[in-house]
Structure 1
């Protein structure tokens, strides 16, 4: 029996409930009342030191981060690989959509609505954050061009995650009808995804609890360059990598390539300050106009952590960086989502407004950095590596983020486990010297 800690109103929780029904997996449901502080009780923190929902316990194996749970359930209990295919390219697209959901689409909801709903002093709607929602839906609409499903020619775990998110936007009152590809996909997914009815029940529950009479903006509620070298050991692949040397996600991909012994045919510098990412030729390969982007013989992929997994699965033969064992892989996935959604996000939320918009430091955002490092410190207790007994993609991704904090001047020596892990990871991770050179490039923003 799988113990599942959740609340029905939570979109991440609802995605797992839908997938469990699709897989025929029975969950022993345990509701966690956040408003009552259930997630902070010692018995729950012992299971999940990040004290978040959803959390899954399978025997003595505990896992959180909903998208990592989705992949674990599909790999462990799927009767076949239809929902998460073994083909590296198909899997890479699914991973991309999951990271896109966490870091762009669902995050746009959090940026705009959560300050109005959940902060102690309710904030008014921010029009700039509303634009993030529009941009996220525009990107999703482009990804769905000519597609019935989110990431393949059939239903996959990506559809489950995105359906939970988009249904939350719908019940909140956001009108995405002008994004016709999204609207068409949504209507189709509602009919095909098992458990849709319970998902919608959770949406209505969420609306009843939090959305009544909330005034929201625009909505009315009812109730080539720095590195260049020829490819090797990549099965004659022709890979172009679009990047900036100072970018932590770009550096993580470069270290991954070094670790599996491949090099890119072309490292193409994208000057984001000059707007290179908005040029038509770049938008053609990445309509989300982000870095890094990989093009492998015509196959385009972005979101750094999806690229890292793809490189290992496609070219890292039997690599311990991302092993076949489902539980080991699930822990790595959890750490990758932690890095994207908590650790690296805390860096971006605190430093980027100061660097790029010349804003004053935000004390509340600084506290989120401290909380992220406190959690990382807990995860590393008694551990030499971030997600197992050897170096994995989790270490590489987190190393890129922590080295950015290092060069920014954040003092994490007080987090003993992190400091110890960091010194070891610098010695063991291939490509550390390239990573640090990129950090020093990024440091120019702080110096200026």
Structure 2
């Protein structure tokens, strides 16, 4: 659920992003900010030390999730809401999140696909591996991922990006989470050629490195836990 809260502020400064690099949703925000040429203040929230449950953080975000954005008295959580907000406020144009209703609806649909299916399975798998000691994916998880990959491959059948021939914030959300899943359950290039091509195109984006750093961290910490 996307939430926006407002607090009074006496001066403006660069937006603050409460984050951890390994988080796919965080990396989608980093991609959006980089595409906008927007500088963010990074505040690392150490989940292992339960810093997201401190009194100060809970005042900002009662759901205690990352990413959380604080921008001149406005506090927003849920990466999709943050990305839409950043484009609306700081974008030089609306190409990343079109104002045209039909085009925007398509971007929204793809972001709901990301949150409802792709990220849902990613979170389910990552929690099982990290906190429950699971060494392998279950049949249900594999089936769910294949289902998601099939749909995404279809979305990309006739277009370069997930909603057409221009990159949008829907791509950023899916890039961050699918590249993470690709570490856990690699995309079969022979079956999902459109996804494979899209991933290569994503790596060619001039700001893609902001995603790569978090991926490397995820690979180093989570991948070794899988058998």
Q: TM-score, normalised by structure 1?
A: 0.47
- Give, in angstroms, the shift of residue 240 of structure 1: 1.0
Secondary structure, counterpart of 1:447 in structure 2? helix
Residue-pair matches, total: 218
Which structure 1 segments of 5+ residues have no match?
1-94, 98-142, 144-150, 153-235
CA contact (8 A) 1:407 1:440 kept: no
Structure 1 residue 355: deviation in Å?
2.2
- Corresponding residue number in structure 1 for 2:9: none
Residues 19, 45 of structure 2: 8 Å contact kept: yes
Q: CA deviation at 1:237?
A: 3.9
Instruction: Name the counterpart of 1:283.
Output: 58
CA distance in 2, matches of 1:411, 1:385: 17
1:350 and 1:366 in contact (8 A); partners too: no
1:340 pairs with 2:131: no
SS in 2 for 1:294: strand
Q: Give the corresponding residue for 1:446.
A: 223
| TM-superposed deviation, 1:382 | 1.3
Identify the residue that residue 396 of structure 1 maps to in structure 2.
172
| TM alignment of 1:25-104, pairs within 5 A | 96-97=2-3
1:194 match: none
Candidates 254, 261, 270, aligned match of 2:37: 261
Q: Which has the larger radius of gyration?
A: 1
Decide whether the 8 Å contact of 2:52 with 2:65 is kept in 1. yes
* Structure 1 position 280, deviation (Å): 0.4
For 1:297 and 1:329, the matched residues in 2 are separated by: 26
CA distance in 2, matches of 1:411, 1:276: 34
Report Cα offsets for 1:69-123 as digits up to 9, x if no partner: xxxxxxxxxxxxxxxxxxxxxxxxxx815xxxxxxxxxxxxxxxxxxxxxxxxxx
- Aligned counterparts of 2:31 and 2:152: Cα–Cα separation in 1: 21
2-structure distance, mates of 1:351, 1:245:
15
CA distance in 2, matches of 1:375, 1:278: 36
Does residue 303 in structure 1 map to residue 78 in structure 2?
Answer: yes
In 2, the alpha carbon distance for the partners of 1:282 and 1:412 equals 40
User: 1:328: Cα distance to partner?
Assistant: 0.5
RMSD between aligned alpha carbons? 2.0
Equivalent of residue 26 in structure 2, options 229, 232, 250: 250
Q: CA deviation at 1:407?
A: 2.5
The residue number in structure 1 matching 2:196 is: 419
- Is the contact between residue 27 and residue 211 of structure 2 (CA under 8 Å) also seen in structure 1? yes
**Which whole-Å CA distance do the structure 2 matches of 1:335 and 1:298 have between them?**
29
Give every structure 1 segment of 4 or more consecutive aligned residues whose post-TM-superposition deviation is greater than 3 Å: none
Give distance in 2, aligned partners of 1:421 and 1:411.
11
Q: Distance in 1 between matches of 2:188 and 2:114?
A: 16
How far has the Cα of 1:308 moved from its partner? 0.3
Mapped contact 1:346–1:372 kept (Cα < 8 A)? no
CA distance in 2, matches of 1:238, 1:420: 35
Deviation at 1:409, TM superposition (A): 4.6
Q: 2:157 aligns with which of 362, 381, 388?
A: 381
Aligned to 1:241: 17
Instruction: Find the residue that maps to 1:372 and give its secondary structure.
Output: helix
How many angstroms apart in 1 are the aligned matches of 2:87 and 2:114? 18
1:366 equivalent to 2:142? Answer yes
SS in 2 for 1:436: helix
Cα distance between partner residues in 2 of 1:364 and 1:446: 19
Stretches of structure 2 lacking an aligned partner (at least 5 in a row): 7-11
